[in-house]
Amino acid sequence: TIPAAIASKILFDVSLADCDWLHGSAESLLTITNLVTVVAFRQALNAKDKGELDPISAQSYAPMTWLVVGLTALAGVTAVVPALADPTTHTPYLSGFMDLPKDAVTWGHPEPENALTVATWIIHWSSLVEFLVAMGFAWRWADLVQNPKWKGITWGLLPLHSSGITACTYHLFYNQIPLLVPLQAFLTCIGNTTAAYAAYRLAVSNGWEPPENISAFFPSTDASTKTDSKTTTTTEESPSLIGFEDLGDALAGDTDYTFLLKLFGGCAVASYAFKYGELLFDFPFDANLLLGLSIVFVPSLLNAFKWYKRSQDPSFEGWF
């Protein structure tokens, strides 16, 4: 996304969010990263459930590697092809092939030039959902391997998910609330830090120690930071569907392919609803800062509260 943002500024003097063909191509790489994480986690959980020693992705790296290479190449094509066709600032991502014909949209406000295409909205929605699913998988994995440090990964990812909500809120208001841009960057920085620290604690709990030449940069790894799996107890969580983070459990019987089809299908429905439904309202065109911040922080606080409640009571079933 950083090279794409630089290109959009140099070539068109706009932010990446206002250049849909570059925006969609760049953000698709984030979706690919999240997708691979979710698929690998899902395979690991399925292997545990079946009593298998290793998941498919651990038996051979080739399938996951080719999946990453293929999807990344596809994302590259979506940027290179329009780049060779002399694009304009608002050339739509994938030529807007999923968008409704403009003449067919006869309701509400006229759509601004910088509105996201349906395909770009799907990328954003799928990234948010994939993050929640991965957080749910990490939480469940903590119980399966009896290492609570895995739940730290879920907590560490919270600011990054809030960063994604901020980006979607920015686009909901047609990129008219400038303060949301540095807020997203701040949340991303915080999230990268908390996720890295959670990963460090997890590594130490599994016996990892930093090399001597850099050990001074890490806290001491005494026995108190390590997890004894024999003394760790867990409580069975409710199997019901509570939120998007439980989508992985609800679709556990699906293959990886049908799981992804259902995930992207749901995100497509949400994308059409957002893109064309918001035209019926005035607020997306008013750029109200307080409303924008509320859309970011209310779901984020509810998400954090949900994980807190689950850490206290694994059977907790919230409506959010």
Query: Are the CB atoms for 27 and 130 separated by under 8 Å?
Result: no
pLDDT of residue 218: 73
Residue type for position 51: G
DSSP H or E stretch at residue 2 = helix 2-12
pLDDT of residue 175: 96
> How many C-beta atoms lie closer than 10 Å to residue 28's C-beta?
26
Hey, is 10 helix, strand or coil?
A: helix
pLDDT of residue 43: 87
pLDDT of residue 282: 96
> How many C-beta atoms lie closer than 10 Å to residue 201's C-beta?
21
pLDDT of residue 241: 39
Integer Cα distance of 80 and 151 in angstroms: 40
pLDDT of residue 97: 93
pLDDT of residue 60: 82
Query: Are the CB atoms for 266 and 183 separated by under 8 Å?
Result: no
In the structure encoding, which two tokens stand for residue 71, read together?
């999807």
Query: Are the CB atoms for 55 and 46 separated by under 8 Å?
Result: yes
pLDDT in tens, the chain (320 residues): 889 999 999 999 999 999 999 999 999 998 998 888 888 888 888 888 888 877 877 788 888 888 889 989 999 999 899 989 889 999 999 999 999 999 999 999 999 999 999 999 999 999 999 989 999 999 999 998 899 999 999 999 999 999 999 999 999 999 999 999 999 999 999 999 999 999 999 999 999 888 877 777 777 665 455 555 444 444 555 443 345 666 666 676 778 888 889 889 999 999 999 999 999 999 999 999 999 999 999 999 999 999 999 898 887 766 55
pLDDT of residue 59: 80
Residue type for position 123: I
Integer Cα distance of 52 and 182 in angstroms: 46
pLDDT of residue 232: 47
Query: Are the CB atoms for 126 and 265 separated by under 8 Å?
Result: no
